[in-house]
Amino acid sequence: MNQEVKSTCCYCGVGCGVLIRTDGITVQGVRGDPEHPANYGRLCTKGASLHLTAQGEGRQRHPALRPARDRQPEQVSWAQALDTAVDRFAGIIREHGPDSVAFYISGQLMTEDYYVFNKLAKGLIGTNNVDTNSRLCMSSAVAGYKQTLGADAPPCCYEDIGQAGVILIAGANPALAHPIVFRYIEDARAANPALKIIVVDPRRSETAEIADLHLPILPGSDIALFNGMLHVMLAEGLVDGDYIARHTNGFDELAGNLAEYTPQRVAGLCGIPASSIVRAARWFATQGPALSLYCQGLNQSAHGTHNNAALIHLHLATGQIGKPGAGPFSLTGQPNAMGGREVGGLANLLSAHRDLANPEHRAEVAALWGIPDVPAKPGKAAVDLFKALESGEIKAVWIACTNPAQSLPNQASVRAGLARAEFVVLQETFADTDTAAYADLLLPATGWGEKHGTVTNSERRITRVQPAVAPLGEARHDWQIVVDFARRLGRKLQNPAVDRLFPYETVESIFAEHCVTTRGRDLDISGLSYSVLEQQGPQQWPFPEGASQGQQRLYADGRFPTADGRARFIAVAHQATVEVPGKEHPLSLLSGRLRDQWHGMSRTGIVPRLFNLDDEPLLAMHPCDMRHRQLDDGDLVRLFNGRGEIVVRVASRPGLARGRVWMPMHWGSRFMNSAGVNALVGDAVDPYSQQPELKHAAVEVAKS
Ligand code: SF4
């Protein structure tokens, strides 16, 4: 008999609730959960196709070990697989120390999976070398929030979209990348024709089509734009002096720097008319509640943290935060990048938003885990982690639920690192990602519809995910694999703490421990449990003990989680992109998402109907740039720079400014005859967030 099981969509950070229809053996259908507050029953095309990805196609069904690098993997038992992994990791740790191994995990994991990975590295092995693909996605948003507001906490909720008077969308294309959020924007526009929508994007994106004002700024000029808008607000008396005086620090220092950001100068830096900058500033400050929605266009930059801070300054200067319809709302890329941050699953973080660099925080986590200490030495963030593999400093890496051989920048270096590593473990749902070719050991993990645990979406809402069907083949839950490995490794290393560190027999017990670690922190969820989530539905954090519901908005009282309770303005100045287009490579390469594909397509790539709209990766280019190179629409072209070359078809796009080309980020060597777009992108990173500048590279295009 059919039944419906509550789960979530495993794609973007909107975090839509789904109901999986099942006969208990197979997944038979999916629909939006009408009771879930993120989507109230709506789904986009990807979410509505999820059931078509649950039929076992392309799955890794058994543990498999590669006898030699030039041989195919051979099926082994779980015991053989994990004992081999233990032998190799223990041997390397004994010979070279704990920092010679690393874990590279994913914002697609459940919070509980993330928690045990973090504990395995930092609590059992004694290395902080645990980082995640969220480093490529949200780490600049984390650093931006922390530097200005004091904590990594998006203060808004989806309901704010319908209450805003002006929405500033910067470096985001929700029409394709966060479609249900875009439906809320369309609803808001329909309900309130006076709503002003400003879109900041170097490309005339699908989202820009509904903008009242589109600002097609030069790539990387976001700080100049936001400083220019603040300059106008200050000059025209549009800032909220009372809010600034009562709730912030640092405004006078910043204001001194703003003098040079006149609309005329900023127009030159951004490549847009000065009048547009003035209009954007006036609308932001005068049209009622101001809401900002932003994503990778700000984050994936070598100055991503300051991009975020400069935008947050607009809210602090106008008091547009902590009230309905207002605030800086970072749209999360992945379904559980938030949960990973909550458990400290990055090389510089610890559980419950604690900082590794803070000795008191390290002592708190050590006490919670019952171990003498947590290592103080910072772990390696994603880009450095793979460089350390290439140099031989890190000798073994355990990769879970992500595909660095396609997604990281400077692919040649990443692949060289994977090839040089002494031992590579890949814990994955799917069998043939680009990274699988480098794996010595493949461990089959459960996938959507089989997993259980919790995830947190962009508005801090935690949802309980329930399994609808049994694991496929010999696949195991990610947390089970980690706990089994940790126990075996602990015994091998004769670590007396191992049983105390990994006592878990159920996923619920991991969540319960995570909740305890949050007590008294900004994200306190000591009042949450699986039973509360199941009975009351998805809840926003904080949800401390004694609370009856989660908190919809943060900072309504004007107090921020800083030492003195005040938010901070920080000095931010315009910086150019790391690569400046020149004679040899005169074009700016931009990249982004399509509506119907997700990341490297390991899941969406198996659903034929998701290719109906876009069946190949087209390179968008201005017709004048095409004429200059004697290219016609549909020609095969070489897109290249010093790092490599991609062969794709070119498409004329008059809406894209001259000197810029745009390509979707989904296709890798599995789906076309050359590497994906990130093979052409450099690995320069933001100094605060360590997030790489994935959104820009200098390239040239020629007929193939
Ligand atoms: Fe899934 Fe995002 Fe679409 Fe919602 S908007 S159905 S979470 S991909």
pLDDT of residue 102 exceeding 80, the answer is yes
Looking from the CA of residue 48, the nearest atom of ligand 1 is: 6
Is it the case that residue 675 has pLDDT exceeding 90?
no
Tokens of 85: 């992994």
Q: Which ligand 1 atom sits nearest the alpha carbon of residue 598?
A: 8
Within 410-523, residue ranges assigned H as helices are: 411-420, 478-492, 498-501, 507-517
- Residues 579-607: pLDDT tens digits? 999 999 999 999 999 999 999 999 999 99
Query: From its phi and psi, is residue 108 left (phi > 0), alpha (psi between -120 and 50) or beta?
Result: alpha
Q: How many A from CA of 411 to the centre of ligand 1?
A: 28
The first and second tokens of residue 656, run together, are: 């894209």
Helix H or strand E encompassing 394: none
593 CA distance to ligand 1 centroid (A)?
Answer: 13
Q: Report the SS3 class of residue 293.
A: strand
At 427, the pLDDT band (50, 70, 90 cuts) reads: very high
Cα(454)–Cα(444) distance, rounded to whole angstroms? 20
HEC assignment per residue over 497-530: CHHHHCCCCCHHHHHHHHHHHCCCCCCCCCCCCH
Token pair, residue 418, equals 């994977």
Q: How confident is the model at residue 256 (pLDDT cuts 50, 70, 90)?
A: very high
Residue 531 contacts by C-beta under 8 Å, 6 or more apart in sequence? none
What are the boundaries of each domain within the chain? 3-53, 64-137+339-540, 139-330, 587-703
Please state which CATH class domain 3-53 belongs to: mainly beta
Q: In whole angstroms, give the CA distance from residue 508 to residue 653.
A: 51
| Tokens (6 digits) for 346 | 């990055």
Which of 701, 698, 523, 691 is CA-nearest to residue 139? 691
Weakest mean pLDDT among 126-135, 388-397, 672-681: 672-681
Nearest CA to ligand 1 atom 2: 12
Return the best residue to mutate from 7, 8, 9 for the ligand 1 pocket (most ligand atoms within 8 A of CB). 9
β-bridge mates for residue 19, sequence order: 6, 31
Q: Is the ipTM here above 0.95?
A: yes
264 Cα: distance to centroid of ligand 1 (angstroms)? 40
671 pLDDT band, cuts 50/70/90, is: confident
For the record, the structure tokens of 514 come out as 């995570």
**Closest ligand 1 atom to the C-alpha of 42?**
6
Query: 44: CA distance to ligand 1 center in Å?
Result: 6
Give percent helix, percent strand, percent coil of the chain, each to the nearest 5.
35, 20, 45
Give the whole-angstrom CA distance, residue 438 versus residue 407: 15
Contacts of 627 (CB under 8 A, 6+ apart): none
pLDDT band at 56 (very low <50, low <70, confident <90, very high): confident
What pLDDT digit, counting tens, does each position of 497-526 carry? 899 999 999 999 999 999 999 999 999 999
CB 614 within 8 A of CB 664: yes
* Structural Rg of the chain based on CA atoms: 24
Q: What is the pLDDT of residues 618-648, one digit of tens each?
A: 999 999 999 999 999 999 999 999 999 999 9
Enter the tokens of residue 127.
Answer: 């290395």
Whether 147 and 570 have beta carbons less than 8 Å apart is answered as yes
Q: What are 38's two structure tokens? A: 């993120």
The string of pLDDT tens digits covering residues 259-275 is 999 999 999 999 999 99
Atom index in ligand 1 nearest the CA of residue 45 equals 3
Q: Does residue 12's CB lie within 6 angstroms of at least one atom of ligand 1?
A: yes
C-beta 594 within 6 A of ligand 1: no
Q: In angstroms, what CA-CA distances link 563 with 247, 461, 560?
A: 12, 26, 9
- Angle 222-235/263-270 helices, nearest 10 degrees? 170
Q: Phi first, then psi: give them for residue 647, nearest 5 degrees.
A: -105, 120
Rounded-to-integer distance, Cα 675 and Cα 119, Å: 35
For residue 673, pLDDT over 80 is answered with: no
In this structure, CATH architecture of domain 587-703:
Beta Barrel (2.40)
Q: Is 9 in the pocket of ligand 1 (CB under 6 A)?
A: yes
| CATH fit for domain 139-330, picks 3.40.228.10, 3.30.70.270, 3.90.1150.10, 1.20.1530.20 | 3.40.228.10
Please name the residue that has the structure tokens 């309980």: 464
In which region does residue 590 sit, left (phi positive, over 0), alpha (psi from -120 to 50) or beta (all else)?
A: beta
Determine the Cα–Cα distance for residues 322 and 274; give it in Å rounded to an integer.
30
**What backbone torsions phi and psi does residue 156 show, to the nearest 5 degrees?**
-105, -175
> How confident is residue 672, by pLDDT bands cut at 50, 70 and 90?
confident
Quick check: CB of 179 below 6 Å from ligand 1? yes
Could you give the 3-state DSSP secondary structure of residue 320? Answer: coil
64-137+339-540: CATH, from 3.40.50.740, 3.50.50.60, 3.40.50.300, 3.40.190.10:
3.40.50.740
Query: What share of the chain has pLDDT > 90, as a percent?
Result: 97
| End-to-end CA separation in angstroms for the chain | 56
CA dist 186 to 170, 176, 189, 195, 284, Å? 17, 13, 5, 10, 19
| Length of the chain measured in residues | 704
Both structure tokens of 164: 């805003």
598 pocket-lining for ligand 1 (C-beta < 6 Å): no
∠ Cα 645 106 137 (to 5°): 60
Q: What predicted TM-score, i.e. pTM, was given to this entire model?
A: 0.97
- Cα 253 from Cα 249, distance rounded (Å): 9
Please state whether the peptide bond connecting residue 542 to the residue before it is cis, i.e. omega within 30 degrees of 0.
yes
The tokens of 146 are what? 């922390």
Predicted local confidence at residue 544, as pLDDT: 98
Residue located via tokens 């040079």: 260
Domains 64-137+339-540 and 587-703 share a fold: no
How confident is the model over 360-373, as pLDDT tens digits? 999 999 999 999 99
Segments in 343-450 forming alpha helices (H): 359-369, 382-391, 404-407, 411-420
Cβ of 16 less than 6 Å from ligand 1: yes
Looking at every residue in the chain, the average pLDDT score rounds to 96
3-class state of residue 351 by DSSP: coil
Q: Assign 560 a pLDDT band (cuts: 50, 70, 90).
A: very high
